[in-house]
C-alpha cells in the first residue's frame, strides 16, 4: 500500500532514512549524454546570427550558458558567472541569467556577455550546489522594462530584486520567502510571483507599489518544515485566467487564485516528485518529474503533458531532470537533465509529444534553466 504523503513529510530520523533512500534512487541517473561544450565564448560566423529555435541552457555545474542546436547538440558557450540557475529571454534577444554572482546580460545573437549586475542582497561567499546563495528564479516583465530575480539567502529569507533593463541596475529589493525557486509575472505585468520552496508559499508582489503578500501553498500541510519534500517548486501562470499552476508529487495540481489567495486541488497521475513547469498559449501544462521520493511506492522521472481539460499523458524519462521548455510548434519539449540535487546528467531529453519518442542530446554541464530562442 502506498505510504501516505503526510507521513513522508515528518522529520523523524527513521523517516529521513526513507526519504534519503528515495533521493538516492532518483539521483542514480545515467552517465552524461556526451561531451560538454567548449567553455569559451564562440561568436557565430561573420554575417550570421544564432538561428531561431536554438536552445539556451544555464550550466548550473559551471559558469556558462550553452547554445544548443536541437538537432546536433552544443555549438557554443558564454561565461556568465558561477552556477547559473534560471534565465529569461526578451524579444530583443537579450538573455537575463541568474547566477550566484549576479544577473548576467547576454546578447544571444552575438553570443557575448554584455554585463553582470551585482545583487544588493548579501548572500555570503560565492559557492555552488543546491543551497548556494544568489539568483534562482527570474522573469522578464511583458513590456521588457524590468527583470525580477529571486535571490536565495542561505539560512534566511530570500529577496526579490528588481532590475531596470535600460540602466542595467538593481532599483528595488522586496522581502520574500525562503529559497525562491521560481519567479513569474502576470500577463498584464501588474503582479510578480515568487515561489518560495522552503517556506511553503508564494509571495505575490504588486509591480507598482512593490508591496508583498504571502500566500501559503501546502496541499500536504507543512509538517516536517525544512526537512519536508512536499513543498512548492515551480509555477506556471495560466493564460486563460491568470491563475497559478503548481504541481505536487505527480498527485496534486494546486490551482491558485493570486487575488484571493485561495486554491483548488486537482488530481494528477504521474506519481513522481515534480519540479519544472511551463504552460503554452493554449493552456497545456508541461511538468517535469524528477524521480521517486519513496522508490517502493513512487514512479521514476517523467514529463507530464496536461491539457486544459485536465487529461494527462505521462512520458517516462531516463534519469533525473529539472526544467522544461517547449518549441513553438507545441509538439517538441526539451527537458534538462541538470537537476538541483546530486545525480544530474549533462544533457537534454527531447520529447515528441505526438509520437511519444524520446531522444537524448548533450547540452553543457548540469543544464538547468532553459529557453527556446
Is residue 372 domain-resident?
no
* Residue 20: predicted pLDDT: 31
**Residue-level pLDDT at 37:** 38
Task: Give a yes or no: residue 373 inside a domain.
Answer: no
Amino acid 342: pLDDT: 77
pLDDT of residue 341 exceeding 90, the answer is no
Residue 59 has pLDDT above 60, yes or no: yes
- Say whether pLDDT at 33 is over 50: no
**Whole-number pLDDT of residue 54:** 97
Considering the domain boundaries, does residue 289 fall inside one?
A: yes
**Is residue 3 pLDDT above 50, yes or no?**
no
Alpha-carbon gap, residue 360 to 135, rounded angstroms: 28
How confident is the model at residue 48, as a pLDDT? 67
In this predicted structure, what is the pLDDT of residue 340?
A: 84
Band of the pLDDT at 49, cuts 50, 70, 90?
confident
Average pLDDT, the chain: 90
Q: Is the pTM of this model over 0.85?
A: yes
Please give the residue that has the higher pLDDT: either 350 or 19.
350
Domain that holds residue 262: 5-39+51-367
Tens digits of residue pLDDT in 98-113: 999 999 999 999 999 9
Predicted confidence (pLDDT) per residue in 277-295, tens digit: 999 999 999 999 999 999 9
* Residue 88 belongs to domain with CATH number: 2.130.10.10
Report, as an integer, the average pLDDT of 343-372. Answer: 96
Q: What pLDDT score does 39 carry?
A: 45
pLDDT over 50 at 16, yes or no: no
Residue 285 included in any domain? yes
Number of domains into which the chain is organized:
1
Look at residue 46 and tell me if it is in a domain: no
Q: What proportion of the chain, given as a percentage, has pLDDT over 90?
A: 85
pLDDT value at 25 more than 90: no
Residues 322-348 have a mean pLDDT of 94
Evaluate if residue 159 carries a pLDDT over 60.
yes
Whole-number Å distance between alpha carbons of 36 and 3: 39
Give the model confidence (pLDDT) of 237-272 as tens digits.
Answer: 999 999 999 999 999 999 999 999 999 999 999 999
pLDDT single digits (tens) 188-197: 999 999 999 9
pLDDT of residue 339: 87
Q: pLDDT class for 343, splitting at 50, 70, 90?
A: confident
Amino acid at each position: 500500500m502506498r505510504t501516505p504523503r503526510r507521513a513522508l513529510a515528518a522529520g523523524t530520523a527513521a523517516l529521513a532514512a526513507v526519504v534519503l533512500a528515495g533521493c538516492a534512487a532518483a539521483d542514480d541517473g545515467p552517465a552524461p549524454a556526451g561531451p560538454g561544450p567548449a567553455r569559451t565564448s564562440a561568436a557565430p560566423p561573420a554575417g550570421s546570427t544564432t538561428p531561431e529555435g536554438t536552445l539556451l541552457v544555464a550550466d548550473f555545474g559551471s559558469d556558462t550558458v550553452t547554445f544548443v542546436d536541437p538537432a546536433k547538440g552544443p555549438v557554443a558557450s558564454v561565461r556568465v558567472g558561477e552556477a547559473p540557475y534560471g534565465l529569461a529571454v526578451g524579444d530583443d534577444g537579450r538573455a537575463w541569467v541568474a547566477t550566484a554572482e549576479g544577473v548576467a546580460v547576454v546578447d544571444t545573437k552575438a553570443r557575448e556577455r554584455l554585463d553582470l549586475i551585482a545583487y544588493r542582497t548579501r548572500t555570503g561567499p560565492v559557492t555552488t550546489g543546491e543551497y548556494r546563495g544568489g539568483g534562482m528564479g527570474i522573469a522578464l516583465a511583458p513590456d521588457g522594462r524590468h527583470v525580477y530575480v529571486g535571490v536565495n539567502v542561505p539560512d534566511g529569507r530570500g529577496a526579490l530584486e528588481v532590475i531596470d533593463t535600460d540602466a542595467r541596475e538593481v532599483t528595488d529589493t522586496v522581502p520574500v520567502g525562503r529559497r525562491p525557486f521560481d519567479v513569474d509575472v502576470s500577463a498584464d505585468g501588474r503582479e510578480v510571483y515568487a515561489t518560495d520552496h522552503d517556506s511553503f508559499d508564494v509571495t505575490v508582489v504588486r509591480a507598482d507599489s512593490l508591496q508583498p503578500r504571502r500566500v501559503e501553498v501546502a496541499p500536504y500541510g507543512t509538517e516536517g518544515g525544512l526537512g519536508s519534500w512536499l513543498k512548492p517548486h515551480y509555477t506556471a501562470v495560466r493564460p486563460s485566467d491568470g491563475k497559478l499552476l503548481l504541481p505536487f508529487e505527480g498527485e496534486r495540481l494546486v490551482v491558485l487564485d493570486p487575488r484571493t489567495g485561495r486554491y483548488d486541488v486537482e488530481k494528477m497521475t504521474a506519481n513522481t516528485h515534480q519540479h519544472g513547469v511551463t504552460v503554452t498559449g493554449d493552456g497545456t501544462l508541461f511538468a517535469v518529474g524528477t524521480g521517486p521520493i519513496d522508490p517502493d511506492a513512487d514512479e521514476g522521472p517523467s514529463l507530464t503533458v496536461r491539457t486544459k481539460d485536465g487529461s494527462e499523458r505521462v512520458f517516462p524519462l531516463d534519469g533525473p531532470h529539472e526544467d522544461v521548455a517547449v518549441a513553438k510548434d507545441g509538439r517538441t519539449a526539451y527537458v534538462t537533465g541538470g537537476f538541483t540535487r546530486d545525480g544530474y546528467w549533462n544533457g537534454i531529453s527531447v520529447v515528441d509529444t505526438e509520437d511519444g519518442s524520446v531522444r537524448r542530446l548533450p547540452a553543457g554541464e548540469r543544464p538547468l534553466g532553459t529557453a527556446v530562442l
